[in-house]
């Protein structure tokens, strides 16, 4: 039987790279896509394929999908993992930076779905995995623009799931909690860069300190990206996957609090947890 073909975006590090390894171990024919091709060489070494992919560039996305289809004739799994966190206050963030974050986190994800769906419909089979975040179900100060992109991924996924149901294609949302990646370190740098001076300086510094502490090098209190990769591996191999997988440090506890608390109570818990001043 021919191996299932999986395409993973953002496969040069973190969750994307670990997912490539996980799917290779599960017998998939894996294509890792990212701009940093050299960072994906380990995928090749383990028997997978690597391909240049820029999810903000239409020609790059089309070329990536067409190249795989020409060689394999099928794409069975799409893991939309490419994304990044851009943090700073709603007021301070330059609009061009906001647009770029939407290009990667939302529009690139959506376009990749559009490109693989015709093949999946013809196959009457497919798994589309959208890596969102626990932050797609609540917001925190200084990362509002980032949260908004993950809310968008949730909404797109819910609509898509119902649209493609007749074609036996599953839409799966992965909602990671705090994971050992460079997300928090980058977030703290962004906060200081865009909001470290001016009206929000004091709380910006406190928020940046919070993310540095939570995501700093050697912090073993948060989850390994391998946990997310294993979850994705399970989701794309079971017959009836869940619609959502909320997994990783603090994910379930934060969502539970969001569900049971009033908006103002959740706001209070958030600001206290992050050590912010009123």
Could you give the residue numbers annotated as active site?
146
Angle CA(167)–CA(171)–CA(177) in degrees, nearest 5? 175
Q: Which token pair is 56?
A: 């903000």
Helices (H), the chain: 14-25, 41-45, 58-72, 95-102, 109-123, 144-163, 183-195, 201-215, 225-235, 251-260, 263-273
Q: How far apart are CA 11 and CA 7, in angstroms?
A: 9
Beta-bridge partner residues of 233: none
d(Cα 33, Cα 40) in Å, to the nearest integer?
Answer: 8
Of 68, 70, 24, the closest CA to residue 47 belongs to: 24
Concatenating the DSSP letter of every residue in 115-127 gives: HHHHHHHHHT-EE
Rounded Cα gap, residues 261 and 154, in angstroms: 21
**Which pair of tokens denotes residue 32?**
């890792």
Q: For residues 78 and 8, give the distance between their C-alpha atoms in angstroms, rounded to a whole number.
A: 6
Query: Would you tell me how many other CB atoms lie within 10 Å of the CB of residue 200?
Result: 20
Pairing of strands 29-34, 5-9: parallel
- Beta sheet of 126-131, edge-to-edge order: 49-52, 29-34, 5-9, 77-80, 126-131, 169-176, 244-247
């Amino acid at each position: 039987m021919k191996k299932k073909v999986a395409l993973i975006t953002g496969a040069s590090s973190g969750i994307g790279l670990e997912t490539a390894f996980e799917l290779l171990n599960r017998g998939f024919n894996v294509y890792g896509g990212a701009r940093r091709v050299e960072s994906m060489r380990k995928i090749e070494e383990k028997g997978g394929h690597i391909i240049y992919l820029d999810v903000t560039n239409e020609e790059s996305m089309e070329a990536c999908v067409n190249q795989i289809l020409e060689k394999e004739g099928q794409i069975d799994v799409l893991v939309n993992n490419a994304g990044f966190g851009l943090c700073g206050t709603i007021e301070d963030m330059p609009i061009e930076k906001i647009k770029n974050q939407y290009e990667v986190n939302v529009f690139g994800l959506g376009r990749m779905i559009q490109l693989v769906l015709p093949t999946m419909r013809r196959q009457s089979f497919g798994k589309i995995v959208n890596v969102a975040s626990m932050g797609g179900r609540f917001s925190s100060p200084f990362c509002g623009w980032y949260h908004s992109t993950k809310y968008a991924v949730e909404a797109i996924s819910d609509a898509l799931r119902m649209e493609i149901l007749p074609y036996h294609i599953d839409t799966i949302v992965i909602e990671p909690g705090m994971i050992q990646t460079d997300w928090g370190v980058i977030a703290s740098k962004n906060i200081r860069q865009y909001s470290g001076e001016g009206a929000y300086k004091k709380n910006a510094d406190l928020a940046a300190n919070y993310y540095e502490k939570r995501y700093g090098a050697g912090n073993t209190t948060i989850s390994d990206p391998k946990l997310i990769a294993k979850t994705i591996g399970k989701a794309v191999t079971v017959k009836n996957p869940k619609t959502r997988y909320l997994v990783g440090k603090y994910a379930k506890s934060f969502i539970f609090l969001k569900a049971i608390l009033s908006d103002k109570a959740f706001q209070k818990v958030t600001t206290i947890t992050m050590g912010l001043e009123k």
